[in-house]
Structure 1
Amino acid sequence: MKALDTWERVLLTLIALVYLAFGLGIEGFLSPYALADSTYNFSEKALIALAMALLVVAGEIDLSIAATMALCSLAMGFAMKAGASLPLMLLAALATGLLCGALNGWLVTRWKLPAIVVTIGTLSLYRGLAQVVLGDQAITGYPQTLSTWGNGSLGDLIGVPALIVPIEFAVLVVAGLAVGLLLHRTLHGRRLYAIGSNPIASRFSGIAVDRYRMGLFLFAGVMAALAAVLLTGRIGSTRPNLAMGWELDAVTIVILGGVAIEGGRGSILGTVLAAVLLGSFTFALGMLNVSGIVMSMIVGGLLIVSMVLPRWLRLLQRGARPALRTV
């Protein structure tokens, strides 16, 4: 157990096993182009999972984050149809994400409502708005630049065709580093851990708990907008079912990454590794033509396992420690 004394090491081992097993069983799975394509399977989900991880560390949750993506994409589509330039389209998506996050944060901080109840309600509200406004229609015709952001590689940006790293994955790496530094290397990150461990004690110690909670919900809206821009560019359209069910994937990534659902514990590295593990695994299943319903069952199973296995490992490690000698 020494080699697996942290959850991040367990995830790294599982990732290695996934690539080894499917690399031997699926021809071309380990080719550079297939590996690059596999990142599209998790980059946008990982972006919203970063925001979800901060919320869960602080003892909160946002189940409306995927529905927020749909509204952000819708706002961007309406802006385009109104003749707005690309910067204004992006501003519309960002403003919508901030408004959705602000409503969630206001209900949680001002009215002291449980975040899980609030965001279940706003999930239905945001998704319902997108479905009522669009119906069975779709908005298409987005600028080529947006498609490049969603489907292109870094080589497309700098004119080096051999550089096939997807832009979405590069954005994820930068975002992961930024959020990781915030959580693990700043005073604000330590305060988030404190809020998640004991919000009452944190408030008495002078931490503006509600201000931090509001900030986290606003950040979730920003990340939803960013993910919506990339996803809309990748698929080239706005649809009411955009990112449908991704809130479950985001929660699975966060819990699988070792973030304690009760708050106060977890890491961004674990969250990113969990996204890679889940994304590469489902990408391989897609290459094997496994149906979507089976993948959903697997994701649900992983959510259960990811909650049970870390606890079991901690109990195992405690049991392996020698008992203190009493006199």
Structure 2
Amino acid sequence: MPESLTRAVRWDTVVGALLIVVLLFSFGFVDGFGNALNLSFLIGNTLPIALIALPMTLLVVSGEIDLSVASTAGLSGAVMGALWNQGMAIETIIPLCLVLGAVCGLVNGLLVTRLGLPSLAVTIGTLAAYRGIAQIVLGSDAVTDFPSQYLDFAAGRVGDSFLPQAFLPFLVLLVLAVVALHATPFGRSLFAIGAGEEAARFAGIRVKRNKLILFTATGFMSALTGVFWALHYASARYDNATGLELSVVASVLLGGIDFDGGKGTLGGAIAGVFLLGTLQNVMSLLNVSAQSQIVVTGVLLVVSVLGPRAARQIAVARAGRRAAAARTPTATP
């Protein structure tokens, strides 16, 4: 297969093309999909996944994972609601919540990098711990009376368009993440760490420091997502964002990020995010039950792990056959 064609059929390219196909089908055949209100609803509901997917992509590229992101978001929202009930200004609450998220991520990072514990086990534990703390902080209360200007920003649209106002700051964060991963020495070091941690360490890369930065950034973005979630849905509860980690991981892996690390693009991850968000929106318009949507998400998660691996095995097998054919001497008449 020619090299140009090989690049064209990369997994992230396939996901991007599939997203376009799903959008075209939805605009053409799903009633109500193309109106401005639904498109705004789709993007607004997908933004929490997309926000966490930015640092999660970098984390998975480095060979780690954080399953506590939804619980960190829930804890951030719970603290936000509790402090608001106590009369603290929202301008003070939001920075405190972001610092709290960074601390949660730092705890995860220290357990992984300093104690050598596997990130999967650590973040399953903190998933439960952070959600439990959120319930202790706020109980079963729901706080809804946040300032209207913040609610309007989180749920409002840009003029008469379908774009949510919150989508514009997300684009800025997306550009920063793309530059960080694909155009800086730090980003290149993450690919090296994911491809081989020992080799990266011998090459002079500060593996533990870089991973600690990533876990902290993931906690920070999770807390930001928790604040956005509470304002977008006008409700701060301890169980906000429950199950969001499944959608984030499924989207990132669906976009072609290798679960073992070292491979993938942020563009593919974001394509995976909006592909999953579009499918969920279409299923809602078609009155597919929430339980069935969870099943679809789980199936996509399995496909996202198996698909790239199968594609690589096929490519390796094809390369092996070409090499064997090149070594075989041609018969002379």
TM-score range, shorter chain: over 0.9
Deviation digits for residues 41-100 of structure 1, max 9, x if unmatched? 211111111111111111111110110001111222222222222220111211110110
- Cα distance, 1:231 vs structure 2: 0.8
- 8 Å Cα contact 1:134-1:240 kept in structure 2: yes
Aligned to 1:316: 314
| CA gap 1:316/1:205 in 2 versus in 1, 3 angstroms | closer
Q: Point out where structure 1 has 5 or more consecutive residues left out of the alignment.
A: 156-160
Pick one of 115, 128, 135 that aligns with 1:111. Answer: 115
Larger Rg belongs to: 2
Distance 1:177 1:291 in 2: 35
- 8 Å Cα contact 1:41-1:280 kept in structure 2: no
TM-score, length-scaled by structure 2: 0.91
Aligned length: 321
Aligned to 2:88: 84
- Which stretch shows the higher mean deviation, 140-149 or 29-38? 29-38
Partner of 1:142: helix, strand, or coil? coil
Distance 2:17 2:189 in 1: 31
Partner of 1:42: helix, strand, or coil? helix
- Cα distance, 1:307 vs structure 2: 1.1
Pick one of 259, 262, 265 that aligns with 1:261. Answer: 259
Q: Point out where structure 2 has 5 or more consecutive residues left out of the alignment.
A: none
Distance 1:300 1:266 in 2: 21
Aligned to 2:47: 43
Aligned to 2:231: 233
Distance 1:84 1:131 in 2: 20
Distance 2:194 2:315 in 1: 24
Distance 2:210 2:315 in 1: 34
- 8 Å Cα contact 2:78-2:135 kept in structure 1: no
- Cα distance, 1:320 vs structure 2: 4.8
Partner of 2:24: helix, strand, or coil? helix
Distance 2:317 2:102 in 1: 47
Partner of 1:20: helix, strand, or coil? helix
- 8 Å Cα contact 1:19-1:30 kept in structure 2: no
- 8 Å Cα contact 1:79-1:92 kept in structure 2: no
Q: Percent identity?
A: 37
- 8 Å Cα contact 1:180-1:268 kept in structure 2: yes
- Which stretch shows the higher mean deviation, 257-266 or 309-318? 309-318
Runs of 4 or more off by more than 3 Å in structure 1?
Answer: 1-4, 315-322
Aligned to 1:144: 148
Distance 1:141 1:308 in 2: 45
- 8 Å Cα contact 2:19-2:274 kept in structure 1: yes
Partner of 2:33: helix, strand, or coil? coil
Aligned to 1:189: 187
